[in-house]
Amino acid sequence: MPEGQTCCGQPAWSAGNRPLAVDLAKKAIAELEGYDHVVIPSGSCADQIRNVYPQLLADDPHWAPRARALAGRSHELTSFLVDVARMESAAPEFAGSVTYHDSCKGLRGLGIKRQPRELLAKVRGLSLEEMADCEECCGFGGAFSVKFGAVSTQIVDRKCEAIAAVGADAVVGGDLGCLINIEGRLRRRGDETTRVLHIAEVLAGGDDC
């Protein structure tokens, strides 16, 4: 992990600050382009590097080919484990049920749907209970949740209600922004028991995650 790496620039991009997004894209490319694969544990960041960087730098003859090359070697974590590394071995045990939230950027930007479910199916003792509208936005949307807080709250309330209805021990996801938003709202609604976990925690830690 390059010690100097910082934000991928997605918040700046979604807020309309193109110059800052360009600067951060160039910084990230310079730090990451020397690796065979770049594995990213958040769908929104992976989408930014894979889909936005080539657009953002398309008119720059020096940076455009570097952006495209990095995009081709960058992978969201579950996609890397399933589609590139072909992970076959069973993961540690997880005693309980989980429900999975499909993040907007991972699902719509990267086509991440089956990969996390294939990985969760390998976890001994884990039961996957699909919530209603699992593909529906959690309301975070980067700068959207700041600019339109009331609307964002109504959206995440719908997500919390779907999580509560399925009765799982934990809600699991692959986008850190979504997980922060969902956990924050669950706790403010008084739910102190439903665990909110990144899928990497489940795969690596089981009951100790």
Question: Does residue 205 carry a pLDDT above 90?
Answer: no
Give yes or no: residues 49 and 152 share one domain. Answer: no
Residue 143's pLDDT is 78
Residues 66 and 165 occupy one common structural domain: no
pLDDT at 106 > cutoff 70: yes
Q: How confident is the model at residue 168 (pLDDT cuts 50, 70, 90)?
A: very high
Q: Please check the confidence at residue 58 and state whether its pLDDT lies above 80.
A: yes
Q: Are residues 96 and 171 in the same domain?
A: yes
Is the pLDDT reported for residue 207 higher than 80? no
pLDDT at 117: 96
Residue 2 belongs to some domain of the structure? no
Position 1 in a domain: no
Q: How far apart are CA 97 and CA 82, in angstroms?
A: 22
* Count: domains in the chain: 2
pLDDT band, residue 208 (cuts 50/70/90): low
Range of the domain at 140: 90-208
Q: Taking residues 31-59, report their average pLDDT.
A: 96
Q: pLDDT at residue 206 above 60?
A: no
One domain, residues 203 and 144: yes
Regarding whether 103 and 74 lie in a shared domain, the answer is no
132 in any annotated domain: yes
Domain boundary among 53, 81, 109: 81
SS (H, E, C) the chain: CCCCCCCCCHHHHHCCCHHHHHHHHHHHHHHHCCCCCEEECCHHHHHHHHHHHHHHCCCCCCCHHHHHHHHHCEEEHHHHHHHHCCCCCCECCCCEEEEECCCHHHHHHHCCCHHHHHHHCCECCEEECCCCCCCCCCCCCCCHHHHCHHHHHHHHHHHHHHHHHHCCCEEEECCHHHHHHHHHHHHHCCCCCCEEEEHHHHHHHHHHC
Report whether pLDDT(39) > 60. Answer: yes
72 with 104, same domain?
no
Asked whether residue 53 falls in the same domain as residue 102, the answer is no
Q: So what's the pLDDT on residue 209?
A: 47
18/95 same-domain check: no
Please report which confidence band the pLDDT of residue 91 belongs to, taking 50, 70 and 90 as the band edges: low
Among the candidates 52, 81, 110, a domain finishes at: 81
Are 71 and 96 members of one domain?
no
pLDDT the model gives residue 50: 97
Task: Assess whether 135 and 163 both reside in one domain.
Answer: yes
Do 171 and 201 sit in the same domain of this protein?
yes
For residue 90, the model assigns a pLDDT of 66
Identify whether 3 is part of a domain. Answer: no
Q: Please identify, among 44, 61, 81, the residue that sits at the C-terminal boundary of a domain.
A: 81
Give dist(CA 134, CA 109) in Å, integer.
16
CATH code: domain of residue 194: 3.40.50.11810
Mean pLDDT across the stretch 91-106?
Answer: 91
Is residue 204 scored above 60 in pLDDT? Answer: yes
59 within domain boundaries: yes
Greater pLDDT, 92 or 160 = 160
- Is 24 inside any structural domain? yes
Predicted local confidence at residue 147, as pLDDT:
85
Pair (77, 94) in one structural domain: no
Q: In this predicted structure, what is the pLDDT of residue 49?
A: 97
Query: Is residue 171 situated within a structural domain?
Result: yes
Flag the least confident range among 46-60, 130-144, 172-186.
130-144
